[in-house]
């Protein structure tokens, strides 16, 4: 967990890139700020057998995105509904104008994409 300089997450991480990727139906690495819409829930991944947390965020212009975070690769983020966070990871569109962001953790090895993170209350969560 790394400390981050203060400032508005919405000012630093616009939803322009993720909104464009959603509209164009493109998979893309993104960084976006959003407000957590529901408390996280936890599940074991069907392919990885790793523990994950998932929660929806709503961006500055109202795009709702589901975040899926592998908490076996990065620490759980103690967030709650109403918290403003920033998320870096891979966006996968759902074909209905929204999608998911996953791989919100460090890159675990060769062949993986660039690592991601979640920023919450001035701290960045990306690796154990």
Domain boundaries, the chain: 2-121
CA distance 88 to 3: 16
So what's the architecture of 2-121 in CATH?
Beta Barrel (2.40)
Which pLDDT does position 72 carry in this prediction? 85
Q: What pLDDT digit, counting tens, does each position of 10-45 carry?
A: 999 999 999 999 999 999 999 999 999 999 999 898
Q: What is the pLDDT of residue 24?
A: 94
Query: Which tens digits make up the pLDDT trace of 76-109?
Result: 899 999 999 999 999 999 988 899 998 888 666 6
């Amino acid at each position: 967990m790394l400390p981050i300089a203060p400032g508005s997450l919405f000012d630093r991480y616009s939803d322009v890139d993720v909104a464009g990727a959603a509209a164009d139906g493109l998979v893309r690495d993104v960084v976006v700020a959003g407000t957590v819409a529901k408390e996280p829930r936890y599940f074991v991944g069907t392919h990885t057998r790793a523990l994950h947390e998932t929660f929806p965020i709503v961006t500055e212009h109202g795009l709702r995105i589901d975040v899926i975070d592998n908490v076996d690769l990065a620490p759980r983020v103690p967030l709650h509904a109403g918290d403003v966070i920033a998320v870096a990871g891979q966006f996968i569109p759902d074909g209905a104008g929204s999608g998911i962001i996953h791989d919100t953790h460090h890159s675990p090895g060769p062949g993986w994409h660039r690592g991601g993170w979640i920023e919450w209350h001035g701290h960045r969560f990306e690796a154990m």
